[in-house]
Amino acid sequence: MWNFGRGYQSVKTVLASLIAVSNYNTRTRLIIGSMEKPPLILIVGPTAVGKTEISVQLAERLNGEIVSADSRLFYRGMDVGTAKPTTEEQARVPHHLIDIANPDEILSLAVFQRKAREVIADIHTRNKLPFLVGGTGQYVRAVTEGWSPPEVAPIQRLREELERWKEERGTNWLYEKLKSLDPDAAGKIDPRNVRRTIRALEVILTSGKKFSEQRRQGDSSYRLIMIGLTRPREELYQRVDARIESMFANGFLDEVKGLLDKGYSPSLPTMSAIGYRECVGVIQGKLTVEQAKAQIRRATRVFVRRQANWFKESDPKIAWFKVEDGVVDEIEKTVRRSVDF
């Protein structure tokens, strides 16, 4: 009897594991037949490091397709402020899990995990190489490390009460409550991310157990080739600042105004993403454009530091590359060696 482990979530995935083939370098081999797990290339690194362009180039060279693990890219109409891959970039290689929900539809970690695994299985069945790309640490780990997200269904009345506390006492008050109940969970959540803070509190208050202790981890379903991208911190901050200027020059405020005009509430969790809340403040007359830019710069720097907590340069499982001339060639060589092209 075959034992496929807990990581496989659907018949489609199991079949993919049995029949996934690799014809790289014109040679076909049965992955499961040789008792190997199917390969998954992971591209990680901080915001603005250059993951999008590098992953596109690699996928072009290696017969690959890109699976987004950036939770900000799930939502339609949120393009400029998330630095979503352009139409041209998405035309160069297939991209998955981008524009799959409206801003008022919240995708849970469990739903993302299922969708990502189904997409990756489909890519394998078509003899292509999947690239999981993103900066949202928990979404990446949920796919690569066989997490079982907490099985606590949302409770509307509790969620409404937590939302009321947020309105009455502030986002920071909620976050401090989470920190007192579960410091480990709080340490991996951006204090501005109201949706994740509320979800963690919801799980804790419903189950009576820490949120951080309920992410059960199993064996990975994949043979992971983990690639990390890095730049000197000051260079990265300069790129962040340039990106913010570019966003405003390319219609960020118009994008947010369009979302509000369509009836999306500024209190939606998606609208609390870095940049969107500040743009709402400008539109409502609470901030000037320059004040908004300054707040976005500060928040993004905090976010960059938090991303480093998920993927550390000291992690021996990740091959880190400084982004400079020739880096794509070097990463390509590493991937080819790892997947036995």
Q: Encode pLDDT of 121-146 as tens digits.
A: 999 999 999 999 987 888 898 899 87
Tokens of 143: 């796919």
Ramachandran quadrant class, 28 (left: phi over 0; alpha: psi -120 to 50; beta: rest): beta
Range in 172-181, 226-235, 247-256, 289-298 with the lowest mean pLDDT: 172-181
Q: Are strands 129-133 and 64-68 parallel, antiparallel or unpaired?
A: parallel
Cα–Cα distances in angstroms (integers) from residue 92 to residues 45, 63, 331, in the given order: 22, 11, 19
For position 154, what pLDDT does the model report?
A: 67
Cα–Cα distances in angstroms (integers) from residue 284 to residues 23, 201, 269, 272, 294, in the given order: 56, 30, 18, 15, 17
Q: Does residue 275 register a pLDDT over 90?
A: yes
| Domain segments of the chain as ranges | 11-149+217-232+310-339, 156-213, 234-306
C-alpha–C-alpha distance, residues 117 and 218, integer Å: 15
Given the structure tokens 């991937």, which residue do they identify?
335
For position 106, what pLDDT does the model report?
A: 80
The highest-confidence range among 141-150, 214-223, 239-248, by mean pLDDT, is 239-248
For the sheet containing 95-96, what is the strand order? 95-96, 64-68, 129-133, 39-44, 223-230, 318-322
Q: Is the pTM of this model over 0.85?
A: no
Give the amino acid at 32.
Answer: I
Nearest 5 degrees, angle CA 197-CA 202-CA 204? 95
Ramachandran quadrant class, 232 (left: phi over 0; alpha: psi -120 to 50; beta: rest): beta
Which spans in the chain are helix H?
11-19, 51-61, 87-92, 109-125, 137-144, 156-169, 171-181, 183-187, 194-207, 233-249, 252-261, 276-283, 289-310, 327-339
For position 54, what pLDDT does the model report?
A: 98
Which top CATH class is 156-213? mainly alpha
Q: Does residue 198 register a pLDDT over 70?
A: yes
Name which of 67, 69, 218, 45 is nearest 136 in CA terms. 69
What's the mean pLDDT in 221-232? 95
Reported for 240-245, long-range contacts at CB under 8 A and 24+ positions apart, including other chains, are 240/47, 240/48, 240/297, 240/300, 240/301, 240/304, 241/297, 243/48, 243/83, 244/275, 244/293, 244/296, 244/297, 244/300, 245/293
What's the CATH number for 234-306?
1.10.287.890
Yes or no: say if 24 and 129 are a contact pair by the CB < 8 Å rule: yes
pLDDT confidence band for 94 (50 / 70 / 90):
very high
Please provide the size of the chain in residues.
Answer: 341
Alpha-carbon radius of gyration of the chain: 20
User: Residue 284 belongs to what H/E stretch?
Assistant: none
The highest-confidence range among 28-37, 94-103, 184-193, 269-278, by mean pLDDT, is 94-103
C-alpha–C-alpha distance, residues 292 and 298, integer Å: 10
Any idea which architecture 11-149+217-232+310-339 has in CATH?
Answer: 3-Layer(aba) Sandwich (3.40)
Tokens of 37: 């797990």
Q: Does residue 228 register a pLDDT over 70?
A: yes
Tokens of 78: 């949120």
